Structure 1
């Protein structure tokens, strides 16, 4: 199997009953999970990951971005504290922010600071001699797309391109780093059950659903990823790769949720990403399942039920990562 088809997990920590970090790492090793995404540099978790062989995406929390954007020195200080001080952790990417957008009330203020923070972080990595080992990116939601249907018509929202997306894409092109993209089929399905079938949303459609020129789509996941590739091409990012930094299906708490629905989606996701998309056939997609363990402090209710495991470490259903 191609090394980059390795599916990992997101480990969100908004729960008050989560197992201790060492047990979480042991759980991952037991289930042959070799990649993990953390949303912030939680020192206890990073310590537990030392020497584990698990490859890590670590997030720069949104509240640190303003400071890092101001100087390479600030980026170096962050790097020293969170990366260099954690020798023995296999860091793969640093994600500067999660789902920041100029259109989002909560994060609009720091959106213009993301590109300079990315440049400073890369400069700090180069100075530390890690520029070839750790890649810098940012995790974006598919809300950045103005159009996604048909996939070949994919384009970014023009109003956020000049000050936000274009500098990010230019950085990724020049650095040959990937774009981290959070890809959910659950929410589009819930919002538009008239046009989107459950089969199309969960990789279970027996036949082609969308024909788009030479490309044929049997699942919504491929259509979203390829729409983003089309948008990247139109924005000068034709050779930027997409890493799916979040994807999953909830097991309870809303429409079309069940343990079985979550099992079907996540099992199919792991198998499917090995083969790429119609636009990038045979090119395995690196993907991360959201979420490792249910997070009971999240709201609304639907947000509490994305884990592969319950907080007591029991798997909700059998799933194979190897």
Structure 2
């Protein structure tokens, strides 16, 4: 009998994670409002519907926004702003009034599914930490009184910086200073069937690592097995920073004996523009990160510690917030500008219907920044030779001759090959010196193939572009560039591994 009781207790203990494993993960967006010409709520909702975004997180409980969302079915997470936290955390009546005013007047017409009580309280306003759990309990009590507690979850969003020693994940633990808050908080989340809200920013982890974290690892780009990070305690392999941080949070909770609380990532993204100290805040990197993040979440991969367990995520953020203070990057996390134009167009083939701006036919293959010049030259020779790319546009006097650099000419040849091969996977690699971009590299009268919207065609007998694990040799059109002199000669080029591996 005792063994049955133990088994029943264990099953009950694991129910929340089991439920998350049975659910499909979702991707939502945060809606910040520090925008000089902020669209009105009706315009915001129109954009959400056009982009088929079904989950949003607000940083307040703006009544006009909640009214505009009524009848849409969009699932909404509202927030108790940090400046209201102290009052709510010290008064049950204040919490009940907040719920009556901001929740009860909008449900069920508006599909409110969660309340975030404050944001990054422990790191932004630590003086409010002593009342944080009380605030959650009072808000939940008001929902219970209105019989909404099973429909609306209550939690609070944390910065991932409260996790110390985060790699390897199995050694991670929460800052012990916050144990008097974290233990009762996790107990509350467990007892109410809620989830830990966590803000995960691989961009900042990468920036603060001083090159210890490879950019590809932060951007979800594929890594060879020998480059994957391995947790020596569990032997789990990590191919990206995002999963490592999420698992660090799971292990930190288990260190406090909580093993059944799911995680929802309430903020994650990558800035598309930065100042001179932020060279990796670029359109291409933002597109790469968010496109890969969306695919990663929606395929229900889970994490190495909890494979198949949904890690639903809200992208930070819908709009560029030009009115924010601080570094240039702070103003440039948005997917759209204030007029609803995409800052960049996500590449989401095979990722479901969320976000209508699929850039399958609007991407370009160009030379990677900082690529070795000799490797670029060898790749250019291959493309114009065995790759059978028409490189006539780059001869002297032709539209794409200027600028007369190996980078510019290689970019044109790479893109021409990429489109000729139907943008097939692996056709924009060239031994690692090429990369996909959504920024049109066309200039003047030099129009790159992607600008024409061409889908490309596969030509029987055409070799695949050299990848990181192949070698090629054969007759090619050697295309030498530099010092404003370009000569096209037929030659036999051996792509030696010393040059092109």
Q: Which residue of 1 aligns with 2:221?
A: 204
CA-CA distance at 1:46 after TM superposition: 1.0
CA deviations over 1:240-290 (Å, ceiling 9, x no partner): 110000000000013201111111100110111221100110112110000
Residue 135 of structure 2 corresponds to: 117
The 5-angstrom pairing of residues 70-149 of structure 1 reads 70-87=90-107, 88-101=109-122, 104=123, 106-149=124-167
**Helix, strand or coil at the partner of 1:117:** helix
For the residue of structure 1 that corresponds to 2:267, the secondary structure is strand
1:15 matched to 2:32? The reply is no
Aligned partners of 2:128, 2:177: CA distance in 1, in Å? 16
Residue 86 (structure 1) shift = 1.3
Q: Which residue does the alignment assign to 1:267?
A: 291
Kept in 1, the 8 Å contact 2:283–2:344? The answer is yes
Per the normalisation by structure 1, the TM-score is 0.95
Aligned-residue offset at 1:60:
0.4
The structural deviation recorded for 1:3 is 5.0
Q: Report whether the alignment pairs 1:293 with 2:293.
A: no
Q: Aligned residue for 1:224? A: 245
- Counterpart of 2:73? 53
Task: Tell me how far 1:80 sits from its aligned partner.
Answer: 0.8
Whole-angstrom distance in 1 between the partners of 2:67 and 2:147 = 22
Q: Does residue 234 of the first structure (1) align with residue 255 of the second (2)? A: yes
SS in 2 for 1:125: helix
Residue in structure 2 matching 1:310, options 321, 334, 337: 337
Counterparts of 1:264 and 1:182, CA distance in 2 = 19
SS at match of 1:275: coil
Aligned 8 A contact 1:96 1:117 in 2:
yes
**Does the Cα contact within 8 Å between 2:217 and 2:223 map onto a contact in 1?**
no
* 1:2 Cα deviation after fit: 6.9
CA contact (8 A) 1:146 1:158 kept: no
Which residue number in structure 2 is paired with residue 176 of structure 1?
193
Q: After superposition, what is the alpha-carbon deviation per residue over 1:96-126, rounded to whole angstroms, capped at 9, x for unaligned?
A: 100011xx4x501111111001011111100
| 1:305 Cα deviation from its structure 2 partner | 0.1
Between Structure 1 and Structure 2, how many residues are aligned? 318
Q: Distance in 2 between matches of 1:255 and 1:189?
A: 12
Contact residue 202 and residue 264 of structure 1 kept, 8 A? yes
Does structure 2 retain, via aligned residues, the 8 Å contact 1:185–1:201?
Answer: yes
Aligned to 2:422: none
Bigger radius of gyration: 2
Secondary structure of the residue aligned to 1:137 is strand
Alignment partners' CA distance in 2, 1:197 and 1:58: 35
Which aligned runs of 4 or more in structure 1 are off by greater than 6 angstroms? none
Alpha carbons of structure 1 residues 2 and 48: separation in structure 2 relative to 1, 3 Å: farther
C-alpha distance in 2, partners of 1:61/1:150?
A: 34
Distance in 2 of aligned mates of 1:246 and 1:194:
23
Partners of 2:22 and 2:55 in 1: CA distance: 15
Kept after mapping to 2: 8 A contact 1:141/1:181: yes
SS of the equivalent of 2:154 reads strand
User: Is residue 2:43 matched to residue 1:38?
Assistant: no
Aligned-partner Cα distance in 2 for 1:29–1:76 = 32
Task: Please provide the CA RMSD for this pair.
Answer: 1.5
1:214 aligns with 2:231: no
Q: Secondary structure at the match of 2:118?
A: strand
Do residues 24 (structure 1) and 51 (structure 2) align?
no
Please give the per-residue CA displacement for 1:4-51, whole angstroms capped at 9, x wherever unaligned: 411000001111212111111110111110000001111111111111
CA contact (8 A) 1:249 1:265 kept: yes
SS of match in other structure, 2:237:
strand
Supply the distance in 2 between the matched residues of 1:310 and 1:194 (Cα, whole angstroms). Answer: 31
Within 1, Cα distance between the matches of 2:303 and 2:236? Answer: 9
2:302 to 246, 266, 276: 276
TM-score (norm 2): 0.62
| Larger RCO, structures 1/2 (Cα 8 Å, 6+ apart) | 1
2:26 and 2:255 mapped to 1: Cα distance? 29
- What are the ranges of 5 or more consecutive residues in structure 1 without an aligned counterpart? none
1:152-187 CA-to-partner distances (Å, cap 9, x unmatched) read 11111111112x211111111111210100000000
Shift of 1:72: 2.6
Partner of 2:497: none
